[in-house]
Structure 1
Amino acid sequence: MPTKTLQIPTTDGQADAFAAFPDHGERHPGVLMYADGFGIRPVLREMARELAGHGYYVLVPNLFYRHGPAPLIELPEHIGEEVRPAVMAQLMPLIEAHTADRVLSDADAYLRFLTTQPEVGAGPVAVTGYCIGGLLAMRTAAAHPGQVAAVAGFHGPVGADGPDLLSKLTAQVHLGHAETDMTPEALGELNQALDAAGVDYTSEIYPGSVHGFTMSDTDAFNPSARQRHWDRLLPLLDLTLGGN
């Protein structure tokens, strides 16, 4: 599976990124993948390669490039609960500095870059994200209604921006929530808001999951929940982008 290390021009400098894509010498639908707060690391590269194997060009930017290239902090091979507080203490200032204005400015740059790569075909793209990346994915889709055909967010604060964001969505949506992130009552309220906004969506709590369930380098990892995430994401992309 070919991969590339890339530099994406933005209004605030160069965002380092990597891409994975099929080795067919053809053009493929583009997918922008937002990492969780821990950022680009082996597990994200693995997930991007797995998605690329289904016929997509997958671009994963370093969200916090303004503070330096990834990895910004030293991460252990396994981010267990004993080290998580110290890691989060280093990351939270970066997450808090990543304002909505920065998110939207970067989204413009990422999509412009993605759609002009020689391996990416013409047509709409998809955006997916994990943890805080799920919220970024939703903001990106809402800001680019004619360009983003599908958006998916997993174990993230995807409803944080409220009805204003949802009303701008034209993409098909899948949201996969952790049991520890979303009560059934809160899920009902979010889904009611999606209904009111006229969004074409699926939104569900993944049984037995905790926040971060897709990430195999954390204590939160749940293999069945991560498989469920693929079982939801791949048909969504196939329907909207026509991967193979």
Structure 2
Amino acid sequence: MPTKTVQIPTPDGLADAFAAYPENGDRHPGVLMYADAFGIRPTIREMASELAGHGYYVLVPNFFYREGPTPVIDLPGHIKEADRDALVARLMPLIKGLTPERVLSDADAYLSFLTVQPEVSAGPVAVTGYCIGGLLATRTAAARPGQVAALAAFHAPVAADGRESLLRLTADVHFGHAATDITPEALGELNESLDTAGISYTSEIYPGTVHGFTMSDTDAFDPAGLRLHWDRLLPLLSRGLTKR
């Protein structure tokens, strides 16, 4: 599986990114993948490469590039639950720096870069993300409805982003929620907003999971949750990206 590190020009400088794509020399649908707050690391590279193996060009930007290239902070090889609060405290100022204006400016740069790669086919793209990356993916899809045909977000605070953003979505959508992240009542309110948007979607709580369940290098990892994530993500991309 070919992989490489690339530099994406943005109005605020160069964003380093990881790219993975099939090695058969053909052109493939593009997927913009936003990592969780811990950023690009072996687990994320493995997930991007696995997705690329299903026939996609996957681009994973370092959305904290304004603070420096990956890794922005030092991470242990395995992130224990006892480590999480201290690491998140270090990352929180960076997360707060991702203003709506910066998020959309960056999204334009990421999508512009993705769509002109020689390995990427013409047509709509997908966005997917994890944790804060899921929120960035949702904002990207809402802001670029004519370009983004599929959106997936996992253990992401999408319900907190407001009904107005959700109503701008036109993509096929899947939201996979951790059981500890959202109540059934809040899920119902979120899904009501998606119903109002009139889009094709699934939005569900993954049983027995905690925040971060897709990440194999953390104590939050849930193998069954990760499998369900792939079971939902791959058909979504196939449906959304074949509407050409």
Question: Which residue in the other structure is 2:106 paired with?
Answer: 106
Alignment match, 2:135? 135
Q: Secondary structure at the match of 2:227?
A: helix
Match of 2:55 in 1: 55
The question of 1:68 aligning with 2:73 is answered no
Cα offset, 1:242, TM superposition: 3.6
What is the letter of the counterpart of residue 4 of structure 1?
Answer: K
CA-CA distance at 1:162 after TM superposition: 1.4
* Cα-to-partner distance string for 1:71-122 (whole Å, 9 max, x where unaligned): 0111000000122122112111111111111100000000000000000000
SS of the residue aligned with 1:83? helix
1:88-99 residue pairs with structure 2 within 5 A? 88-99=88-99
- Residue 154 of structure 1: aligned partner: 154
Match of 1:182 in 2: 182
Aligned to 2:164: 164
Equivalent in the alignment of 2:41: 41
CA RMSD of the aligned region, Å?
Answer: 1.0
CA contact (8 A) 2:214 2:223 kept: yes
Cα deviation for residue 199 of structure 1 reads: 2.2
Aligned equivalent of 1:241:
241
Q: Secondary structure at the match of 1:60?
A: strand
Structure 2: distance between partners of 1:174 and 1:187: 13
CA distance in 1, matches of 2:129, 2:190: 18
How many Å separate the matches in 1 of 2:190 and 2:167? Answer: 13
Verify: 1:77 aligned to 2:116, yes or no: no
Q: Does structure 2 conserve the Cα–Cα contact (< 8 Å) formed by 1:135 and 1:159?
A: no
Q: Which letter maps to 2:87?
A: V
Partner SS state of residue 15, structure 1: strand
Report whether the alignment pairs 1:173 with 2:173. yes
Q: CA deviation at 1:10?
A: 0.3
> Is the 8 Å Cα contact of residues 15 and 65 (structure 1) preserved in structure 2?
yes
Aligned-partner SS, 2:209: coil
Partner of 1:227: 227
CA distance in 1, matches of 2:217, 2:234: 22
Partner in structure 1 of residue 125 of structure 2: 125
Scaled by the length of structure 1, what TM-score is found? 0.98
Please tell me whether the aligned partners of residues 163 and 197 of structure 1 are also in contact (alpha carbons under 8 angstroms): no
Give the secondary-structure state (helix, strand or coil) at the position aligned to 1:145. Answer: coil
2:217 is aligned with 1:200: no
Residue identity over aligned pairs, in percent, reads 74
Q: Shift of residue 241 of structure 1?
A: 1.2
Amino acid at match of 2:111: L
Tell me which stretches of 4 or more aligned residues in structure 1 moved more than 3 Å. none
- Tell me, what secondary structure is at the counterpart of 1:82? helix
> What TM-score does the superposition give when structure 2 sets the normalisation length?
0.98
Q: Which runs of 5+ in 2 are unaligned?
A: none
String of CA shifts for 1:136-158, please: whole Å, max 9, x gaps.
00100011111000000000001
Higher deviation after alignment, 5-14 or 191-200: 191-200
Cα distance in 2, alignment partners of residues 138 and 85 from structure 1: 25
CA deviation profile, 1:165-193 (whole Å, cap 9, x unmatched): 11211100000000000111111111011
1:218 deviates by 0.5
**What amino acid does structure 1 have at the position aligned with 2:187?**
L
The more displaced of 6-15 and 78-87 is: 78-87
What secondary structure does 2:186 align onto? helix
